[in-house]
Amino acid sequence: MDTIPVSGPWITQKEIEYVTDAVSNAWYSKANMYNQKFEEKFAEYLGVRFAISLPSCTSAIHLSLLALGVGPEDEVVVPDVTWIASAAPITYVGAIPVFADIDPQSWCLSATSLEECITSRTKAILPVDLYGNVPDMDAIDRIAKSHGITVIEDAAEAIGSEYRGKKAGVFGDTGVFSFHGSKTLTTGEGGMLVTNREDIYRRALFLRDHGRLPGDKMFYNTEVAYKYKMSSMQAALGLAQLERIDELVNRKREIFKWYGEELSEVDVISLNHEEPGTKNTYWMVSAIVDEGLGIKKEDLMELMSGRKIDCRPFFHPLSSLPAYKDFPGSSIARERNKISYQISPYGINLPSGMNMTVEKVQYVCSALRAILSS
């Protein structure tokens, strides 16, 4: 058997035809035809007013912070367990990331820890829909409103997920998405910023094009800004994937169902949780191994690799990374965030690519059971 990859897309003839058409025709007066279609359909899918296609989710977070006026010495609360891209743009704008603990079941931002982290300098909250799950947005929204704090929902990993009947990505002043090659909906690289606020939309459009107004033909820049645009070929791929979004999300949930059935009797493993009222799209099927077994994620991944199974580590707490070693508050976070440091060392992401089959899942689970039993 070839090595089973940890992630990967599902590409059909529809995607090939759309991208081919973009390469052939999306030039001159039609240069933005696919970007416009992708943005309109994406906003419609979520039920929001505005969507802006971008080169990455990281750039979407960066523009969100700028449009919301977050700057030097402001604080932004972010969960300790997430990919660094959630936090890095906070530094781009000169603000300070404050690392809060995660919930033991959802693995997303803990509302209790969030409240403990808020100070007079807190300007924004950045909850992350980790691995396709959604945090307690009702509680986060109450906290944000009571303190007059803006919210940027990082839905990079959660296209199609739902909370209380609404799609992930619609619960903040902005929502941001990733279309990286590993994501459920992919454009290879790419992202999207969504919002219901016209002021944020207009400001983000201005900032993403070197500080000039949309439609400006005089190249008369009024601010030093950024170059954050998605190509027409990426937008064409995204549009085709979006037209198949229910199919893609259902495949992710089906893959998780296979894993759940195979590992249902393995009581030393905990898989992704789905709270009532929440729809988890399981971007990554994640397994937390009982710490009593004494096997940490690095060793487990190496043993799985020996069986030609590619896995990823559950995200390291940001406050544990060398990149944030000397940041204000990191040492406090390392002491405070008990759940983050309890779960992360024992978690791995199992192969969750769109090419997974029942047989591949059975092979992965058989290998995992064998390793844990020994």
pLDDT, residue 281, reads 98
- The answer to whether the beta carbons of residues 285 and 350 sit under 8 Å apart is yes
Starting from the edge strand earliest in sequence, which strands make up the sheet with 150-154, in order?
A: 50-54, 191-195, 174-178, 150-154, 122-125, 75-79, 96-100
pLDDT of residue 33: 98
Compute φ and ψ for 267, nearest 5 degrees.
-80, 0
Structure-token match 């903040």, residue found = 172
Cα 204–chain centre separation = 20
pLDDT band at 328 (very low <50, low <70, confident <90, very high): confident
Report helix, strand or coil for 63: helix
Is residue 297 classed as helix, strand or coil in its secondary structure? helix
Q: Supply the pLDDT for residue 346.
A: 98
Mean of pLDDT values over 238-246:
98
Place of tokens 């004494």: 294
Read off the pTM: 0.97
Tell me what pLDDT residue 1 has. 75
The confidence score (pLDDT) of residue 266 equals: 96
The pLDDT confidence band at residue 74, using thresholds 50, 70 and 90, is very high
Mean pLDDT for the stretch of residues 259-277: 97
The CATH code for residues 245-373 is 3.90.1150.10
Burial of 310-334, coded b for 16+ CB within 10 Å and e otherwise, reads: bbbebbbbbbbeeebeebebbeebb
Q: pLDDT-derived band of residue 110, with 50, 70 and 90 as boundaries?
A: very high
> Given CA atoms 20, 23, 29, 33 in this order, what sign does their dihedral have?
positive
Q: Write the CB contacts of 127 (distance below 8 Å, at least 6 apart in sequence).
A: 79, 108, 109, 114, 135, 137, 140, 151, 153, 154, 172
For the chain, give every domain's residue range.
Answer: 13-100+108-242, 245-373
pLDDT tens track for 135-156: 999 999 999 999 999 999 999 9
13-100+108-242 under CATH 3.10.20.90, yes or no: no
